[in-house]
Amino acid sequence: MGAVARLLPDRERLHLQHGPIDLIIGAEGARDLAFEAARVRFETILDELVAELALLRQEVGEVPVGLAARRMVSAVRPHSAVFVTPMAAVAGAVAEEVLAAMVAAGPLTRAYVNNGGDIAFHLAQGARFRMAVAGLDGAALGRIDVGFGDGARGVATSGWGGRSFSLGIADAVTVLARSAAEADVAATMICNAVDVPGHPGVGRAPAVGLQPDSDLGARLVTVSVGALSTEEVAEALERGVAVAEDICGRGLALAAALFLKGQARMVGQAALSLIPDGSLCDA
């Protein structure tokens, strides 16, 4: 089955799907041109990635050929002091690559490519985006307001219960960065760091046992998180905050919000802080 493109029932947003990739795309301005550019760019993107999949599932080394793959590698490389593969940035990189094609096609005041929650967005001068952050159960965690001058052009959320595996236990880590690929890998790294090592209440299993071709190999990924004391939650979050501060300090992310069992921590630019909000989604 090849790539599929269709307008959502509201006729305002484009849905592109191929294999595991689902993109929801919005654009204001030269929308038709942007949508057509997105559709064309999307047609081959999965095949391009698959062609270099073996390389992308290893720690950064050889530079790949594909443009989305290169975005993955560039975003991941600054983090490679610890184990990470370019796959940590795949969702963000695809969003970014498709958005780049849209922006190149014609003038847009605002546009976004949402790849399963990892979003690349474009803002013209004076434009803003208001974003909602949802937990795994759809419950509202808060809102983020991003303006043209804030520098953020990508947002991503990771958590142990999501589609990709995590080495940590965060319910959610949302990161704003200069690009979606950067946000994606930063969210992954911070999420991995939110942990209470050796805690008996946390279930872990080798990634390959769950997903035979996982890039994480035999590393133990979180499969369940039992009860934790308030202090343990705080301790786990502090580990994540330390990594988040390092990442933000090196300019690899602009702001991060970390969530675990009802507690939250904010790191980075105050202007990009998440505003907690209780009235967002219904179940």
CA distances from 133 to 141, 144, 155, 276 (A): 5, 8, 10, 9
168: contact with another protein by CB under 8 A? no
* Contact letters for another protein, residues 97-126 (x by CB under 8 A): -------------x-x-x-xxxx-------
> Is 229 one of the binding residues for another protein (CB under 8 A)?
no
Taking CA atoms, 37 is separated from 21, 27, 30, 120, 178, in Å, by 17, 12, 11, 15, 22
Q: Does 63 bind another protein (CB under 8 A)?
A: no
Residue 224 CB neighbour total at 10 angstroms: 12
Is 158 a binder of another protein (CB under 8 A)? yes
Quick check: 156 binds another protein (CB under 8 A)?
yes
Verify binding: residue 135, another protein, rule CB under 8 A: yes
Burial class (CB in 10 A: 0-12, 13-18, 19+), 219: middle
Is residue 264 close enough to count as binding another protein by CB under 8 A? no
Give the sheet arrangement for strand 21-29, strand by strand: 4-7, 14-18, 21-29, 108-115, 118-123, 154-158, 172-177, 255-260, 263-268
Considering only 143, 178, 199, 204, the residue that binds another protein (CB under 8 A) is: 143
Closer residue to another protein in complex, CB, 74/158? 158
Taking the complex as a whole, the smallest distance from the CB of residue 72 to another protein amounts, in Å, to 15
Which residue type sits at 171? D
**In the set 18, 41, 79, 261, which binds another protein (CB under 8 A)?**
18
Binding mask 170-209 toward another protein (x if CB under 8 A, else -) reads -xx-x----------------------------x----xx
**216/241 with CB nearer another protein:** 216
Residues that bind another protein (CB under 8 A): 1, 8-10, 13, 15, 17-20, 22-24, 26, 46-47, 50, 53, 91, 110, 112, 114, 116-119, 129-138, 143, 155-159, 161-164, 171-172, 174, 203, 208-213, 217, 223-224, 226, 280-283
